[in-house]
Chain A
Amino acid sequence: MTTESYYGRNIVKEPVWTPEIPLYFWTGGIAGASAVLHGVARLAGNEQLAKRSLFIGAVADAVSPVLLVKDLGRPERFLNMFRMFKVTSPMSVGSWILLVSGGASNTAAALELLDALAPVKRVAGAVSLVAGPPLATYTGALVANTSIPVWSEARDQLPWLFGASATATAGAAATVLTPVGSAGPARRAAVIGAVAEGLVMRAMRRRLGFVGEVYDQGAAGTNARVARACTTAGAGLLALAGRRPAAARAGGLLVLAGGLALRFAVFKAGFQSARDPRYTVVPQRERLHARGSGVRASGQ
């Protein structure tokens, strides 16, 4: 496919985000899905799993804003994120979701440790249960709502991909830290999430067509391959031998590593996609062609 370009230069800019951002996509996903795991485990009467998910979620929720503030060009102005609530900006909506989720899960975790104010703890737990799922999926919308071809064109899949990976990694984290006798739901969550992630990834690649080839190349390709290998191996181990403590820990760690590599794959794919003007021009030309205005004669 030959397209004209200006000395091969990029048209859209590469993102300016640092590696803290994909790291946050991972911790935010773990935090969001862990809050759900905690809430449902409480309802199901699985106290061991509930407590561990609560603490995992609280820690992930506490780490997340630190990562985000570190990425800012002017970290001392992080509070400006809360000057307004802006529904046209997934970054704004997400900041508020993280504030609510992190505040609630850390309140619940602190009260759990202190064994105090049980009604407040229950309310905080319920709030984090509600804020958890959007925390796990909005990051997909965040990257999809850009002009980066490989992100924008995957807007129907990215929230699902991140949600599936959040489910898998939260399940995996709980599997690693919970005695196997109580970790059944966590293991199953890791496997369900891993299977869903694989299916969504395939759907995304189908949707992307040639724009998706960046997932086979460079750093994005390496990360995508590592993600797939780790997640598949980890989920397989959990499904087949998850009742053995050593296998549960190894499987959980593999799924966690796979989730992290997946976020870096998506992150790096965005940079690679921005760099080559073909990915910007060809889909737009096809769009114009489909509208019947591909040959835009002078004027019109």
Chain B
Amino acid sequence: MSSVTYGADAKPRVGFFTDTTICIGCKACEVACKEWNLIPADGLNWTGESYDNTSQLDANSWRHVAFVEQRKPLKLDGEQAELDGQPEPLRWLMESDVCKHCTHAGCLDACPTGALFRTEFGTVVVQEDVCNGCGYCVPACPFGVIDKRHLPRSPQDAPLALPLLGAKEDGRVWKCTLCYDRLKDGHEPACAKACPTDSIQFGELDELRERAKARLERLEGEGWNGARLYGDDPNDGVGGFGAFFLLLDEPEVYGLPPDPVVPTRHLPRLWRTTALAAAGVLVGLATAFVGGDA
């Protein structure tokens, strides 16, 4: 992949392992990301959804901490399970979500301009000076990560929506770059740097996968309820995530798709269907001439 394109300049593929079992929901990652990447403020909204007022990843939120309140025991056996054996067990899940930097990235495949590209680190980045805001990457992403930053619709919108960039500055798509600029200078991404518990771990992907496997084994040994890795399998529908997770419940509980597949996987067949349908148009219209002019 990146080694084919970059030759000797290729770097080992890097990514994130986000271990949600030690996330404390402090949102330092969200703040560090916004500050480092100069992402505009997009309003203060109170959702009433636990401590989550960011709601989702979008053009102006490249890290998003999900908060899930559940009536489920944290552990299936041992001391904690006894505590949770009370009539109303409660657990509070927190997960810092981010762009998955897929091995087979739907956004990158769909991009008609080449604005989205694969870096020498194996990450997926938008070139903001090339993107023309066609928006095709937005529905292409199986995770709903990449998003268009909208132009202010009215003068009143401008100060809140785009305080830093001014009225004519947008209409392009944005998402996590895995801090491409920091990587170039040998630093870890801002979110990982800011994370106080090392829930967000940055490193070479192969090493992270090993680390995640060991961590999962330990949690299973301790009887944690629902512990699983998400996005660690290179044989999944997107060829494995560059940023993968250790979760404590099904992916959809955190707003993640249970079986994401890159749309491009179906494209060879889709092109064949399109060509056949084109032939059908030709045949249909030619048939219309049988029977003369009137």
Contacts and interface: CB of A to CB of B under 8 A. Distances in A.
B273 interface: yes
A156 interface: yes
A40 B280 contact: no
Nearest to B55: A9
A222 interface: no
Q: Which applies to chain A's interface (DSSP): helix, strand, loop or mixed?
A: helix
26 contacts: A11-B144, A13-B141, A15-B138, A16-B148, A16-B150, A36-B286, A74-B172, A81-B134, A90-B110, A90-B267, A91-B134, A91-B136, A137-B281, A140-B277, A159-B276, A159-B277, A159-B278, A160-B276, A184-B293, A185-B289, A188-B289, A193-B284, A277-B255, A281-B257, A299-B216, A299-B229
B38 interface: no
B171 A145 contact: no
Interface in B269-283: 269-271, 273-282
A300 to B, nearest CB: 8
Contacts of B147: 13, 16
Nearest to A168: B284
Interface string B137-151: 011111111111111
Nearest to B132: A77
Contacts of B207: none
A80 B115 contact: yes
B85 interface: no
A141 B263 CA distance: 11
B180 interface: no
A160 B280 contact: yes
B208 to A, nearest CB: 16
Interface in A1-49: 3-7, 9-17, 32-33, 36-37, 40-41, 44, 46, 49
Contacts of B253: 4-6
Given A74-B133, A74-B172, A184 B292 contact: yes
Interface in A284-299: 284-285, 287-288, 296-299
Central interface residue in A37, A75, A86, A132, by most chain B CB within 10 Å: A86
Contact of B271 (A3, A141, A164, A243): A141
A71 B171 CA distance: 10
A107 interface: no
A32 B281 contact: yes
B263 to A, nearest CB: 5
Interface in A151-170: 151-152, 155-156, 159-160, 162-164, 166-167, 170
- Which 6 interchain pairs have the tightest Cβ spacing? A73-B133, A73-B171, A6-B255, A133-B278, A77-B132, A92-B112
Central interface residue in A32, A133, A144, by most chain B CB within 10 Å: A133
B184 interface: no
A13 B133 contact: no
Contact of A137 (B49, B216, B277): B277
Contacts of A152: 263, 266
Contact of B220 (A92, A141, A196, A299): A299
A140 B260 CA distance: 22
Interface of A: 3-7, 9-17, 32-33, 36-37, 40-41, 44, 46, 49, 71-75, 77-78, 80-81, 83-84, 86-92, 95, 132-134, 136-138, 140-142, 144-148, 151-152, 155-156, 159-160, 162-164, 166-167, 170-171, 180-182, 184-186, 188-189, 192-193, 196, 243, 270, 274, 277, 280-281, 284-285, 287-288, 296-300
Contacts of A17: 135
Contacts of B170: 73
B180 to A, nearest CB: 20
A185 B287 CA distance: 8
A151 B258 CA distance: 19
A262 to B, nearest CB: 15
Nearest to B148: A16
A146 B255 contact: no
A14 B141 CA distance: 11
A15 B111 contact: no
Nearest to B149: A73
B288 A72 contact: no
Given A5-B252, A133-B282, A270 B294 contact: no
A37 B254 CA distance: 52
B140 A146 contact: yes
Contact of B269 (A14, A155, A193): A155
B160 interface: no
